[in-house]
Structure formats: C-alpha cells, structure tokens
Structure 1
C-alpha cells in the first residue's frame, strides 16, 4: 500500500506540468479567498465611510483581480527570449514610474508614504511593478554576467547602480517596508546568481547600515520596534489609542477566533476597532472568522506556492529563470511571511499587504502578473511543451465529440 502511494507521488512529482498546476491552483485559491475576506473585512468601513454600499471595496477588488488575471494569462504565453528583450525596458519604465511620485500634481502621499501616483481616477503604487521589473532585470543581467564577474567593475556594474536606484527612489518616498522587500529580493537574486562573496558581503553590509540609519532617524519606526519588543499588553492602558493599538487588536482578533472561528462575516474587530482590517491586517480577520484552521489553510497555500516556485528554480537549467524566479519568490513569499509575522506580533508593524489576499489594486495586479511570468517559466520545463500539446489534442477531441453529438 505504502509503496504504491509512494510510486504515485513520484509519478505526479515527475509530471512536467505538476509545477505549473501547483502554482496556478494555489494562487487561484488564495485570490478567491482574498475576495471573500475583503468583502467580509471591508463591509462595515465601506458602508460607514460614505460609499453607501458594503460591496464597494469588494467590487473594486473584483475589478482589479479581473485585470490582474488577464495580465497573468497573457504573461504565461510570453517566451523566455521575449522576457530577456523586455528586461531593460521594464526596469526603465519601472524606475520612471517610481520617480513620478516626486512630480508635483502627479505624486500622492498616503499616510506619510509618498509612493503613489494619480492617473485619472486611479491611484497606482509603482513600487509594486518595480519589484517585477527588478527581478526580471537582475535575472537577465546576472545570467549574462555569469562566470565573468572577476573584477570589481565587472561585478558591480550595472547590477549595484540598478539596485541602488530602485531602492533609493522608494526610500526617498519614505516607504522603508517596501524598500526592505526590494533589498531581500536583490540579495536573494545575487546569491543565486553567484555574485562574488566579497562584493555580496559589502553590499549586504551597506544595505544593513542604510536600514539601521533610517530606522534610528525615525521616531515613528523606533516606537513600532519598542512596542514589539516591550510587549503589547503592558502598553494597553497607557497607550490605548497609540502605537500598540493596531497590534493589540490584531492579537485580540486572532485570539477570539479559537479553533474554528466566530463564523464568516461575524468579526467584531472589523467594526472600526482594527485599522486596515481589509488591507495589511486581513490575516487577523481570517484568524477571527475562520479560526486557527482557516489561518493554517492560508499558510499551507503559501507553502504550496513556495514549493512550486522552488521547483521552477531547481528544475530549470536557465540562470535567467533561476535568478528571476528567486527574486519573485523573495518578494511574494517573503512579504507574506512578514505580513503574517506582523499580525501575530513577531515583528514590528510594517505596512506591507498579504499578497493575493489583502485589498489593493496595484498589489493584486502586480502579484498576478508576477505569477504569470513564473508560469511562463514553468512552461519551459523539460516535457512541458509536449504535455501541453497532449492536453490541447484531448480538448480538441472532446469538443469534436460534443459537436458530433449536437448534430445528431
């Protein structure tokens, strides 16, 4: 019995399209759950905030998901050669969009972060798309430079200036949380891309020093770290509406959920107690309404997605694919880990959303586009093209049989 199960698992694991479907199904499941939870978490604030409908945020998010899904499907069919051709253009456009946040009349500041631009009736966060551009660009450049980074100049140019420009523009907009995600992406790409150790450690030390400087120079960031280190319970009485408010109510929300939750839509914290309940702290609402079981289901879906992306990295012989996928992995999985750790009190409050689940147009569109790129990489796995042709032939045969039956 066990041997037959083991053989079946090996067969499924070796199937060329297992990676493709593992990534696709986990992302679709997370996105569907996100739509449901956005509706639940935002229903009160949406109605009370002047929208006049509990479905206002949900309707917007559904539109964003539709746009992201179209881009994901389109990206799936883009060839590896074309992604290489787009690498420099993508970084250039991403940097230009990020620089646009500093243009008067075009850039917008939200809650102290000047990382938005206003395009007609839409607000766009260009840093979300800059993450994609940076990952693809680093994959292309490091693949071209593989085995040639023997001197300081060959190793550092253009890799380090490109990274510094992208991160510098985001830090300039006072969004250290997003900058940390880009730092993690860049370091992960350099590690996988066989960047020379002495230069890697130099860059790592520089990024760490920059992070420490910006943390120590901000009283707000220092208060967040202090709140996380000293314990939230001690601050409840003295700081009931201050720094620890969001963290405390996130923990209250998780604690009240128990094993199975209070029921979908029955959250008490979303009644204006927990700030950003439909955005950065949506995982707390999941824990409250769906309980520990629902929270673990979300974590398992991200684990499945992580495993699928690791399969793309491990099963590909292309350095471009390996490095670019590593960057996207560091962004999506790393950001999910940060978000969950923030909600559970393991990290100070950092304003990053939960990928595919939190409300936000730029976030969901960019995340789905990134997955489309990874799926296009998964289609290059040995045997995948043949398996896809077999699927297409079977579908044509099925449609032909249905057509004949209708004629009869």
Structure 2
C-alpha cells in the first residue's frame, strides 16, 4: 500500500501486491483455460472409444497436481543452489542420460521416438532439456567476466602481433566463450534432432542463444554465428524429406490442403470460423476428427473456434502480462544468476506460446511446440511448472519482489540472508530495521 506522501504508482500496483502475484495470476488462469479446453477437445474422441466420457481430462488434472507440487517445491528451494557446480553437472548429466535412453527403451509414436515409458505414463526428456539448457547458460553467463553492456575481454595481445592477429585473437576468445556457454544446449539439441524433433531442438539451442545475445555479446561475432546457425538449420531441413515438405507447404498450404498442408489449413479454418464471439464452449466442429492433434499442438485452434477472437486475445493478453512481470522479476533479481535465469525462463514460456500461436495461424511451419499450460502433455506441463517455480523463487528472494509496493522497509542483504548462524561474522555491523542483532553485538 502507498504511504502518505508517496506518488501514486502504476495501475498494476493497485491490483497486485508484488511482481510475484502479477506473474502467477496469468499462469493460473492459463492452466484453468487449458483444463477446460482439453476436456472440450477430447470428449468426442473419448466417448467413441473405451476411454470414457472424461477422456484425457483426469490424466491432465493428475499431471497438473504433480506439476503444481514440483513448482511449489522449487518455489521454496533457493534458486542460487542451482548454480553449484556439482548440482549443475548432475542436472546436465541426468538430462543427457535420459535423452540417450530414448534410443534404448523409448517408444515410437507417429514415426518419432521421443518418449520413455513409465507404466501407464510416458516421459519426454526433450521438454526438460529446454529448461536444463537455460539453466546452464544462465550459470555460465553469471560466472564469466561480463560488464554492462559489453563483453569484458581477457585477451592480452603478445608482442610482435599485427592488427590481424590481434583481431583474430579477440574473435577466437569470444567464440570460445560462446561455445562454452552453448556446450550442453548443443549436446541436447543434437540428441533431440535425432529423435527426430527439429522444432524442439531449435528451441533448446535458440533460447540459450538469445540469452547470450541479450547479455551484450558483440554483434559482429553474434551475426557470424547466427548466419552459421541458419545455414545449419537449412541443411537439417533439406536433409529430411518430411521436414522440407513442411517448409514447402508452409508457403502455400492451400495447394497441399489434402496432404502436406492439411494441419495448417484445418487450423486456419478452425480459428477463422470462430468469428468474434466463437461457436460456444464444446460446440466447435473442428475437433470432430477434422483437426489433428486438437488437444496438443493445435489446442489454441480449438479454443479460438469455441471462444472466438475475444478468447484468443485473452490468451495472448495473459501471456503478455506474464512476460511483463517476468521481466520485472528479472530486473529486480538480487544476483546475476537470478537475472539471467529469470530472463531465460520468461523467454522460454512466452517464446513457446509465440511459436505455437504463430504455427496455428500459419505464420510458421508446423512443429511440435505446445502452448504452455493449454496444450495437453504431462512432460511439458511439469517442465513449465518447474520453470515457474524457479522464477517464483527468484521473485521471492528479490528485494522488490517480496515487499508490498510502495513500502520503504529495509530488507536484509543477500550476505545477511545467507550468512550461517553457526559461524557469525566477528565484525560489529550496524543494526538494520527488521533484523535481529544479538545483545553482545549491539
């Protein structure tokens, strides 16, 4: 609450107590929309099979419960421990092992081997690789000698070097750092593209790549690496016939409406037929076996058809609100690792939403990118909730993220918060408001 004499804040400060609430509310509403939409998108197929009336809805609610528990655990977990070298290495190794295990025990669905069976459920390791890749890149960005807004070079030219050798030395240094920060993302992307799943592989390395760009890396080196990445992507697309067919059909889906462009055309028809107000909840027609993957990749098309333009804009607005508060949390993070990780998680959630909605609307080729918290998928939901839990942990431990808007109370510093009570500092420090100081040190 604003104190007397303070200037009136922004309108969102009247709605939310802090950035954490502003970030969580859109996610909760998205999860509610997803639960409703999954039931509507799957009940027709369920009643015509042995799955029963509720179809995928009970499984989704179970996934949502487990995911929420994981999110709460990570919210209470100190995110700064994730930067520990041993824990970070363990997470990277476990992620790589699960990606390799797919080729040994994975099940094949629609020509792709992406899932590890776990009894009645299955795990998709590539979803967790997205978060693991960002975790690695954020940790390395926080460790390296970076200053605002440029990279701080540690290269020292030797005597006798000409200008060309010095320039090559600086470039090699930056390429080496970039390669080190993208080490595990590249490993994860290579293992994922072999499944095959090029869309997820691009996101795994793309989000980490974008994080490096936002850190202030030199545009010249970044531009050369970007050109190399684009050429590698074109080569990967041309090396597989089905990938290239998706690219070709993307430019003119109506000419391939019965085969290669079928999904894109049906998605456009579903979104367009919703009109302004929609056809009404559970009254959409595209889910009657016209629209493939109606509850997963094309869940947004079902929602837009039944809830119309207003429903579609509502989802975009919720995601934009999350993005806004996610970047506010990053801006108020108490350390470099928290800042880069918060930026990465915000880009991860909002970026997946952008790619999915653009894909459904025909602006991007069809890929297996789900809409966070709306598309059906246990692994995707768990990964997204884990990411939100970490982002909430960053907000919880930031000065501006935990105190009410407008208050002037001084909170303990990062050093004071983490100092061991069993090994207190011998130096006498001044008393801060709200902090307990032992009598012998007063």
TM-score, with normalisation over the residues of structure 2?
A: 0.80
| Residue 66 of structure 2 is aligned to residue 67 of structure 1 | yes
Match of 1:95 in 2: 96
Per the TM alignment, residue 48 of structure 1 is displaced from its structure 2 partner at its CA by 2.2
117-126 or 65-74, which deviates more: 117-126
293-302 or 157-166, which deviates more: 157-166
Q: Secondary structure at the match of 2:276?
A: coil
Cα deviation, 1:349-372, whole Å, max 9, x if unaligned, reads 111111100001001111111101
Match of 1:139 in 2: 138
Match of 1:228 in 2: 250
1:278 to 1:16, Cα distance in 2 relative to 1, 3 A = closer
1:364 aligned to which of 363, 372, 381: 381
Distance 1:150 1:196 in 2: 14
Per the TM alignment, residue 113 of structure 1 is displaced from its structure 2 partner at its CA by 2.3
Q: Which has the higher helix share?
A: 1
Matched-pair contact (CA < 8 Å) for 1:339–1:352: yes
Match of 1:401 in 2: none
1:156 to 1:235, Cα distance in 2 relative to 1, 3 A = closer
Per the TM alignment, residue 79 of structure 1 is displaced from its structure 2 partner at its CA by 1.2
Q: Secondary structure at the match of 2:113?
A: strand
Distance 1:15 1:25 in 2: 11
Match of 1:247 in 2: 264
Match of 2:39 in 1: 39
Per the TM alignment, residue 348 of structure 1 is displaced from its structure 2 partner at its CA by 1.4
Matched-pair contact (CA < 8 Å) for 1:12–1:18: no
Distance 1:157 1:225 in 2: 29
Q: Secondary structure at the match of 1:168?
A: helix
Match of 2:120 in 1: 121
Q: Secondary structure at the match of 2:50?
A: helix
Match of 2:314 in 1: 297
Matched-pair contact (CA < 8 Å) for 1:184–1:330: no
Cα deviation, 1:232-282, whole Å, max 9, x if unaligned, reads 2x444xxx2x11221111111112111111110011111111111111001
Distance 1:144 1:190 in 2: 13
Match of 1:286 in 2: 303
Per the TM alignment, residue 16 of structure 1 is displaced from its structure 2 partner at its CA by 9.4
1:173 aligned to which of 192, 195, 200: 195
Matched-pair contact (CA < 8 Å) for 1:116–1:126: yes
Structure 2 stretches of 5 or more lacking a match?
1-5, 147-151, 156-171, 408-442
Cα deviation, 1:50-106, whole Å, max 9, x if unaligned, reads 31x121200000000000101111111111322222333222211111111111xx1
Per the TM alignment, residue 224 of structure 1 is displaced from its structure 2 partner at its CA by 1.5
Distance 2:320 2:10 in 1: 19
82-91 or 21-30, which deviates more: 82-91
Q: Secondary structure at the match of 2:77?
A: coil
Per the TM alignment, residue 12 of structure 1 is displaced from its structure 2 partner at its CA by 4.9
1:48 to 1:150, Cα distance in 2 relative to 1, 3 A = farther
Rg larger in 1 or in 2? Answer: 2
1:208 to 1:14, Cα distance in 2 relative to 1, 3 A = farther
Instruction: Write out the 4+ residue segments of structure 1 that deviate beyond 6 Å after TM superposition.
Output: none
Match of 1:393 in 2: none
Matched-pair contact (CA < 8 Å) for 1:185–1:326: no
| Residue 182 of structure 2 is aligned to residue 183 of structure 1 | no
Distance 2:14 2:308 in 1: 35
TM-score, with normalisation over the residues of structure 1?
A: 0.86
Match of 1:397 in 2: none
Per the TM alignment, residue 120 of structure 1 is displaced from its structure 2 partner at its CA by 2.8
Match of 2:324 in 1: 307
Per the TM alignment, residue 8 of structure 1 is displaced from its structure 2 partner at its CA by 4.2
Distance 1:132 1:373 in 2: 10
Structure 1 stretches of 5 or more lacking a match?
1-5, 391-408
CA RMSD of aligned residues (A): 2.4
